[in-house]
Structure 1
Amino acid sequence: MSSTVQKYFEKYGMAVLETIGAGVLTYGLFYLMALCFVDCDLELAFYSIFGKSPRKLKGKVVFITGASSGIGEHTAKALAKHGVRLVLTARRQSELERVKIECLHLSKNQLSDKDILVIPFDITDLSAHKRVFQQALNHFGTVHVLVNNAGRSQRALFEYIDMSVDKQMFDLNVFAVVNLTRIAINHFNEKGSGHVAVVSSLAGVFGAPYSATYTATKHAIHGYFDALRIEKMDKNIAVTLLCPGPTLTNFLQESFTERDGQKYGIPADRKDRRMTGERCGQLCAIALANRTQESWMGLFPMMPFVYTAVYFPTISKMALGLLGPRRLFKMRDSKDIQFDQGKRKL
């Protein structure tokens, strides 16, 4: 090092390093504070203010599974407000018809009866997938976006889960999603563009206690769709993982337990700390319009918790050790875990 450079460094080097350090600290503090005031990751929060509106999808055809209730229903409504044409699928035709009527009303005459196609079918019947997707193609001529929403959660103790429950949950939450997606991808390959999304969960980002099978299905979904995204990154086919946290829908009451054929049966309470279904649907619509890769959603403290789990795993492990599984569960469900109406204790 020359004497001139050395003198320059001695004079200004420390000031430069201090400036960089102060900038990094300021950025970190701003980031941390921002996470305390948003109900989604910062990318999605930015898009919700400055990004593309769901009206960008006006006239496009969006195929939604599990559209008769919950996040699927609210996503359909959020899109209908902007004139997005819809294919609504689920098992219950009467509920699908109800959602269709409400979507038409919300569209304020942007959509007509023929712009919303209702197809009742069981998503776990893989043999019906091609027929149903072809029915949508016959009606609209194309599909622009597939939203895999159908699925169920779980509340159970790991050691008591029957293997038949594991198989049923993977059939519904994973294999049905993968099979329908492959059919859609073949269509997108032919037309040269497309967008496939799946409603995963924050449980797909980190482990959730007392929901082992559900967590496993969502981690599997992330593996499948992360691989798909890389394969299609040069094919104009977008892949989006939508990851809601606790949401006020009927999912909790319908959740699997440890036993075959049993439902958790405990409804979510409006007093619980959960994101509304309407807000979740709106955020999902924004994520679709902006073709995000992965979007997290949840009320405080979910966002700081998820960011810490992903980017600061050592701190996360320490926090989990202090919280324990029951407190973490209560933060998620706003109530203590319950099994068999209290007969099985933790």
Structure 2
Amino acid sequence: MFYKGKTVWITGASSGIGEALSRAFYNEGANLILSSRREEVLQEVKSTLGADDDRIFVLPLDLTQSDTFAEKTREALEHFGQIDVLVNNGGISQRSTVLESELSVIRRLMEINYFGSVGLTKEVLPHMVSRGSGHIIVTSSVAGKIGTKFRSGYAGSKHAVQGFFNSLRQEMYEHNVDVTLLCPGFIKTNISKNALTGDGTNFGKMGDAHSKAMTADEMVDKVMPKIKKAKEEIIITGFKEGLAIWVQRLSPTLLNKILKNTKVT
């Protein structure tokens, strides 16, 4: 029970990686704050976790409404008295070219994926600094390291996430606050179904790569030991995404040639 007595706040907790992380942290003894837009779905997740309702607080949160973050943080602290781990997991993907993507869609991707994580972190961070301990975890992506077709806005937001939280880590060493970037490749979730197309509507179908990928629970089983050790970056991929990262380090030009003719949906 590694997290017994600790409080973990997870955004995007209603499905996919967020739900799997909620299950893992709960099984490790943590008190949970579960956040996403849909309260009714969060209540369903809560009901599946265990009988100890006192350890789970459902706190609806819309990552596009940064003006609510201060109040939501106050509610979280009032409920459990502390926040030991903040998991910035909420996010949305994209399936559209630059030419067909409205600027408002690209702004929405940045608002949710980047400013949502940055804004909530800024509200929680003073509490962690004052206590001299804490752990900020951010779900980035392999797309935070490699750009591909149909992901310009998404990759841009995740590259921004990488830059911000790598910088934050440097500032937090003296305060004993750890920062972990979680970089998954394709995971079998609804992320492609919920991805935004050029006009902002949902893509609505499971991508081929996602349908053949590991499940969120399988992914979380692999990363939890590293999360417990507060690893600075955790990359969890299938063979192709892992190879792409390796090739990029060796030769970005070669990777671009490979990606040019690779199906990425």
TM range (shorter): over 0.9
Which residue of the partner structure matches residue 31 of structure 2? 85
Which residue of the partner structure matches residue 325 of structure 1? 260
Which residue of the partner structure matches residue 66 of structure 2? 126
Q: Which runs of 4+ in 1 moved over 6 A?
A: none
* Alignment CA distance shift 1:326-1:256 (3 Å): farther
Higher helix share goes to which structure? 1
* Alignment CA distance shift 1:102-1:326 (3 Å): farther
Percent identity for Structure 1 against Structure 2: 33
Deviation at 1:271, TM superposition (A): 8.5
* Alignment CA distance shift 1:202-1:271 (3 Å): closer
* Structure with higher RCO (Cα < 8 A, 6+ apart): 1
Deviation at 1:326, TM superposition (A): 4.4
Rg larger in structure: 1
Between the aligned partners of 1:121 and 1:203, the Cα distance in structure 2 is: 25
Amino acid at match of 1:96: L
- Contact 1:146/1:197 (8 A) holds in 2: yes
- Contact 2:21/2:220 (8 A) holds in 1: yes
Which of 129, 137, 142 matches 1:197?
Answer: 137
Q: Which runs of 5+ in 2 are unaligned?
A: none
- Contact 1:75/1:280 (8 A) holds in 2: no
* Alignment CA distance shift 1:68-1:230 (3 Å): same
Deviation at 1:178, TM superposition (A): 0.6
1:25-174 alignment runs, 5 A limit: 55-104=1-50, 112-174=52-114
Deviations 1:115-140 (A, max 9, x none): 11001121211111111111111111
* Alignment CA distance shift 1:326-1:155 (3 Å): farther
Residues matched between the structures, number? 265
TM-score when scaled to structure 1?
0.73
Give the aligned CA root-mean-square deviation in angstroms: 1.7
Between the aligned partners of 2:219 and 2:192, the Cα distance in structure 1 is: 16
Q: Name the SS for the 1:88 alignment partner.
A: strand
Deviation at 1:269, TM superposition (A): 6.2
Which of 163, 168, 171 matches 1:228?
Answer: 168
* Alignment CA distance shift 1:201-1:270 (3 Å): closer
TM-score when scaled to structure 2?
0.94
Deviation at 1:58, TM superposition (A): 2.3
* Alignment CA distance shift 1:270-1:221 (3 Å): closer
Q: Name the SS for the 2:8 alignment partner.
A: strand
- Contact 1:248/1:268 (8 A) holds in 2: no
Deviations 1:59-105 (A, max 9, x none): 21100001001110111111112211110001111110111111116
Deviation at 1:319, TM superposition (A): 4.2
Q: Name the SS for the 2:149 alignment partner.
A: coil
- Contact 1:148/1:197 (8 A) holds in 2: yes
Deviation at 1:291, TM superposition (A): 0.3
Amino acid at match of 1:82: E
Which residue of the partner structure matches residue 175 of structure 1? 115
